Structure 1
Amino acid sequence: MSIQQIIKTPEDCSESELEVFEKLIFEGCEVSTEGLKQRIYKAEKLIFIKDNNCVAVGALKNPNSSYKASVFGKSNALGQSLYKYELGWLYVTESARGKGYSNLLMKAILESLSESTCFATTREDNTPMHHLFRKFGFSRLGKAYKSTNGDYSLILYGKS
């Protein structure tokens, strides 16, 4: 089987695809699980990378205005109105890391963006993600800020 990129709206996903997406996000342990299923359904696009099984997921999310204001406020970044979507829930399964799937995932996400803009957050200590964002034209915005999900700081990136 060849590698597949699947880009769908949540409404176009089967129940089993949504379950796989949610399961992989849980594996990543990076997001609050409270209300996750509802947030997944509100996403603009869900992206799946399959190589026999699903090895990577990501999404273009439709952030609500209070969340976006909070992220930009905590980071002291300007221009929140410039960013339409949030790139999030990027996850590559542990057994699939180091094989280029994150690059395929980012390419699929950027194709989905078309001419739109997005922002994303990542842990301050996640050097591979910082590299990936810079490689695909994202710029760091503002300063690092404390996460509400754990004892670590986050960095905001934007792509316009």
Structure 2
Amino acid sequence: MQIKQTRDTMSEIYCDALRIRNTVFVKEQGVPFELEVGSPVDEAHSVHFVGYEAGNALATVRLLVDPNDKTHALVQRMAVLKEARGKGYANALLQQLLEFSKKSGLTLLTLHAQLSAKDLYEKFGFEVQGEIFKEAGIDHITMTYDKFTE
């Protein structure tokens, strides 16, 4: 898998990320488009990672650094197309995101995991914080990662 990243919301990579997110979150899971895309400012300030196989965009995740604390970031919008699930694409994206985060000087990552993805994040060292809550009508749990010095 080849992983590309961009901050350019006019790039083909970003368009591929949006297409994957629209397919998974809006069409498949029924999340309203306005909630999925969210703030244009967040989109513009995020690093968007997209995984490709044979030129096809199959998986994506975004990293949004906290504008008030440049050592903290949110991991958001992890999505893998249905036909590509179970092939390690989410693992590859998370590994790349963690390496990028460490090189960027981040010390804390936070995410809202869908319960179905909790085990994936735990495998990478994310820890559950708090209780289950609904986001866009789907059960989620807050998770954090702070193991950059280990």
Aligning the two structures, in what range does the TM-score lie when normalised by the shorter sequence?
0.7 to 0.9
Q: Following the alignment from structure 1 to structure 2, what is the Cα–Cα distance between the partners of residues 105 and 19?
A: 17
Q: Following the alignment from structure 1 to structure 2, what is the Cα–Cα distance between the partners of residues 100 and 154?
A: 22
Alpha-carbon distance change, 7 to 17 in structure 1, aligned in 2, over 3 angstroms = closer
Question: 1:86 is matched with which residue?
Answer: 74
Q: Following the alignment from structure 1 to structure 2, what is the Cα–Cα distance between the partners of residues 90 and 64?
A: 21
1:41 aligns with 2:44: yes
Question: 1:99 is matched with which residue?
Answer: 87
Correspondence for 1:112 among 75, 100, 122: 100
Q: Choose between structure 1 and 2: higher strand proportion.
A: 2
* 5+ residue gaps, structure 2: none
1:155 aligns with 2:145: no
Bigger relative contact order, structure 1 or 2 (CA pairs below 8 A, ≥6 apart): 1
TM-score, normalization by structure 2: 0.78
Question: 1:76 is matched with which residue?
Answer: none
Give every structure 1 segment of 4 or more consecutive aligned residues whose post-TM-superposition deviation is greater than 4 Å.
none
Q: How high is the sequence identity, in percent, across the aligned residues? A: 19
Q: Following the alignment from structure 1 to structure 2, what is the Cα–Cα distance between the partners of residues 153 and 97?
A: 20
Correspondence for 1:58 among 56, 61, 65: 61
TM-score, normalization by structure 1: 0.74
Question: Aligned pair count?
Answer: 135
Deviation at 1:32, TM superposition (A): 4.9
* 5+ residue gaps, structure 1: 66-80
